[in-house]
Chains A and B, each alone.
Chain A
């Protein structure tokens, strides 16, 4: 093989890479470019948000009042916490602390679930009063001709974000299983690292969603 400086024992090295650093850098760059696509994917919704807010500032003000700032704030803190724990999981992998990788992954998964549970309560309380997206919207508490548009955007944004949270949980469960099998260590932790990047992006998007949706004065 044309492996010009294969280090012995690099079992994770795929055949087409020269060395594991090249492999690690490639995966990481690949993930970052994927995150670029995520930014533009959500970007479309942010554009819709900005356009409609600039057209209906009063509507956005009235609608945001319907959302619970407390729940939104708690969820913000929850996601920040989960970002910290996944960063610690990466650190544990780098330092070869097997038990800690699992522990931090579990903590992250739990926090992600807390986020979803809170979101669930938020959604159901809105559904109960007829605040549903688009055509299904029946709520009468907001007196504005374009009333449904804020919540259409709200559901699209938080829904899509929620799907990303669920995907993230799936990825971390997979990591957890692999960690238990001893797959990750100081020499090889690429999947942990790039999943963490993904998870931080989920956090980043929420950091913008929170003030934009909940805190309009």
Chain B
């Protein structure tokens, strides 16, 4: 029951994650100067952002070594965020379009 059971994150992981984050940041900025057609520009930026987020969550926040329930909590928050945005878009993207049944 002593705290020695807590995982001490290896220095090389922490520094590696930080380096990875910097590289991904440079890539993100770089990608914004490259002409990528819509919507792939946004998708690239978001993919890179999710990559960075995963690094932070997995290494800095220690989710790799942690209890699964904490990871689940994070994933749940994302699930419900995506539900919120996805369902809202069903309205806002289709505002002016009559539903086909009525035509």
Contacts and interface: CB of A to CB of B under 8 A. Distances in A.
A98 to B, nearest CB: 16
B91 to A, nearest CB: 9
Interface string A121-152: 00000000000000000000000000000000
Nearest to B34: A217
Nearest to A70: B29
B53 to A, nearest CB: 5
B14 A91 contact: yes
Interface residues on B, range: 35 or more
Interface in B59-82: 59-61, 66-67, 69-70, 73-74, 76-78, 80-81
Interface string A174-212: 000000000000111100000011001001100110111
Interface of A: 5, 7, 19-21, 24-25, 28-29, 32-33, 35-36, 39-40, 43-44, 46-47, 50-51, 54-55, 57, 69, 73, 76-77, 80-81, 83-84, 87-88, 90-91, 94-95, 186-189, 196-197, 200, 203-204, 207-208, 210-212, 215-217
Interface of B: 1-6, 8-9, 11, 14-15, 17-18, 21-22, 25, 28-29, 32-33, 35-36, 38, 41, 45-46, 48-49, 52-53, 56-57, 59-61, 66-67, 69-70, 73-74, 76-78, 80-81, 84-85, 88-89, 92-93
